[in-house]
Amino acid sequence: MSTYYNPVQIHYGVATLAKLAEIVQKKGGKKILMLTGARSLKASGHLDKILKQLQCFEVFVQDSIPSNPDVEDILRLKEATDHFPYDLILAVGGGSVIDAAKALAAFRQMNFRNVNEVRAVIKDKIYADSPHICPVLAVPTTAGTGSEVTPWATIWDRQEEQKYSLEAPALFPQSAIVDPVLTQNLSPVLTASSALDALGHALEAYWSKNTNAIVRLYACEALSKIVQNLGLLLENLNDLDLRTEIAYGSLFAGLAFSNTKTTACHSISYPLTLQFGINHGVAVSLTLGAMLAKNEAALREKEKLYAALNIKHPSELTAWIQTIYEQAGLPKRLRDYGVLESDLPKIVEKSYTPGRMDNNPVEVDKSFLLDLLRSIY
C-alpha cells in the first residue's frame, strides 16, 4: 500500500498575493506575527502592500530573519517576539524565514532561559504534541525551498556543528501563497541556487526509499519545468512566464518531497553549508549528477525520469547543472568555496544524517563518498 498526504491549502498564480487579507480572515487570525528576512521585500514595495492589506488586523513585523537560522537565532527571535500574543504567523521570505516561522509556531508559549533549553526541546521533540502550535501562512519569495508545503524546518547549530530538523504534522503550513511576482527581483545567483535546490527535492523524492507513484508524478513535472525553463530564465530574469514555470516547478518539487524527505545529496550538503557556508542549493546540486549515476540501477521507471530531465545518461545532468552555474556566475568546484583537500575526510564523516543518507535507495559507503568529493574538489 502507498499513501500520499499533504494538507496545505495552496493558493497560486500571478498576483495571488492580492488575496492575502481574505485568506488570513478565513483562517480566523487576529494577531499576526509577520516574519520576513529580505530587505528587498521593502525595496520592491511588497511589504507596504502587504501591511496595507492587513490594516484591519493587529500585526507585529519581525524583519531581518537571518539565513540558515540556528538555535541562537531562534532564542533571540523568541525573546524579540514573545511580548506579542500572536495567533497566526505569516512568513514572507525564503526557506529560512518559513523555517523560522515553523520553529516559533512549534515553540509558542514555551519559555527558554538559554540555548541549551532550545536544543533539548528540539532533540527530545517536546514541541511535537504541543497544543499551542499556531497556524503558519507561508508566502515564499524564492522558488526552491518547498518549505511552504512541508511539515519540517531546518534549524542549525553552529556551535555544536549540527543540523536539526523540526518535524510534526502540525508544522505543515495551513496555507501557502505561491505568487511568482514575488520572485521577480531575485538575483541570478539566488534564482539559480534556489531552483537547483528544488531540482534536488524532486530528484531525491523520485529515487527516495519512500517514493510512490504520486510522488513521482509531482517530481517529473517539477523536473521538466525546471530543466526546460531555468536556463532561459537566467537569460531573461524579468520574464514573468518563465518565473511562473520555475515557481510551479519548485512547488511541485515541494509536494513531491513533502512525503519522502530528502536523501544522499541533501545529507552531503549539510557539512558543506555548515562548515564552508556554501549556499544550500549549490551544496545540494554539486552531487546530484554523480548520485543519479550511483542510484541508476535502483530507479523505478527510469525512462520517465530521463524524459523529464531530457537526458539519456546521468553525465548529461551534471553537464546541464554546470551550465547553470556558468550562467549564474557560480563557482563549480569545492576548492572555489575554500574547501581544502585535507577537509574532505571530515566532510565524509559529517555527511551521514540519519533519515536522509539512509533514505537513499543505494548504500553510500565512505570510500565512494570520498571519491565523489574528490571528483568535485
Q: Which is nearer to Fe ion, 47 or 203 (CB)?
A: 203
Min CB(278)–Fe ion separation in Å:
13
Q: Which is nearer to Fe ion, 229 or 269 (CB)?
A: 269
Q: Residue 155, SS3?
A: strand
Show contacts with Fe ion in window 187-226 (CB under 5 A): 197
Read off the DSSP letter of residue 152.
E
219 touches 202 (CB < 8 A): yes
Angle at alpha carbon of residue 291, lines to 289 and 295, rounded to 5°: 120
> In 129-212, which residue ranges form alpha helices assigned H by DSSP?
188-207
Q: Which cell is 98 given?
A: 518559513
291 touches 262 (CB < 8 A): no
Show contacts with Fe ion in window 167-186 (CB under 5 A): none
Which string of b and e fits 310-336 if b means at least 16 CB within 10 Å?
A: ebeebeebbebbeebbebbebeeebee
Min CB(19)–Fe ion separation in Å:
27
Min CB(42)–Fe ion separation in Å:
26
Q: Which is nearer to Fe ion, 16 or 193 (CB)?
A: 193
Min CB(227)–Fe ion separation in Å:
17
Min CB(145)–Fe ion separation in Å:
7
Q: Which is nearer to Fe ion, 86 or 325 (CB)?
A: 325
Residue 141: which of 307, 17, 2 has the closest Cα?
17
Per rule CB under 5 A, count of chain residues that contact Fe ion: 1
Determine the residue with CB nearest Fe ion.
197
CA pair distance 268, 254, nearest whole angstrom: 19
Show contacts with Fe ion in window 24-53 (CB under 5 A): none
Does the footprint of Fe ion cover residue 245 (CB under 5 A)? no
Min CB(159)–Fe ion separation in Å:
23
Residue 50: which of 65, 34, 70 has the closest Cα?
34
Q: Which is nearer to Fe ion, 33 or 230 (CB)?
A: 230
Angle at alpha carbon of residue 65, lines to 172 and 81, rounded to 5°: 80
Min CB(201)–Fe ion separation in Å:
6
State which amino acid sits at residue 205: A
Q: Is 304 exposed, middle or buried (0-12, 13-18, 19+ CB in 10 A)?
A: middle
Q: Which is nearer to Fe ion, 17 or 98 (CB)?
A: 98
Min CB(150)–Fe ion separation in Å:
10
Q: Which is nearer to Fe ion, 75 or 101 (CB)?
A: 101
Residue 339: which of 254, 267, 275 has the closest Cα?
275
Q: Which is nearer to Fe ion, 179 or 197 (CB)?
A: 197
Contact positions toward Fe ion, by CB under 5 A? 197
